[in-house]
Amino acid sequence: MYREIIIAGALNAFLAVALGAFAAHGLKQHFGEYELRIWQTAVDYQMAHALGLILIGLLAKTLDIDLAIPGWIMLAGIILFSGSLYTLSLTGVKTLGMVTPFGGMCFLIAWVWLAVSVYKN
């Protein structure tokens, strides 16, 4: 389990760097300040939580505890939070912003679940 979570974290870190560079070099001419700010927020949260996934995987291995659920919840948070913001930036469809808080809730749940799991161990 921990290997899959670490791999998911590494792939999301890669994507965050690639998407950040894409915006800086490719989208800057096509996006306004508002869209770039939204895109940057998505990149920032994706990178932070990609590192969170790697941390979860390393803790699961080191402490020998099952942290699959908070790992997958955090991955769902990246998809919902950052994914909705990337899509909002590209399409301008404001209703996509309603999805973003569900991703944020996933982040919160994953971090608390991680803390409780490590505390109980």
Confidence (pLDDT) at 86 = 96
Q: What is the DSSP string of 17-39?
A: HHHHHHIIIIITTT--HHHHHHH
Confidence (pLDDT) at 97 = 86
Encoded amino acid at 94, one letter: K
Confidence (pLDDT) at 29 = 78
Confidence (pLDDT) at 111 = 98
- In angstroms, rounded to a whole number, what is the distance separating the alpha carbons of residues 71 and 93? 29
Which parts of the chain sit beneath pLDDT 50?
Answer: none
SS3 73: helix
Of 103, 83, 71, 80, the closest CA to residue 7 belongs to: 71
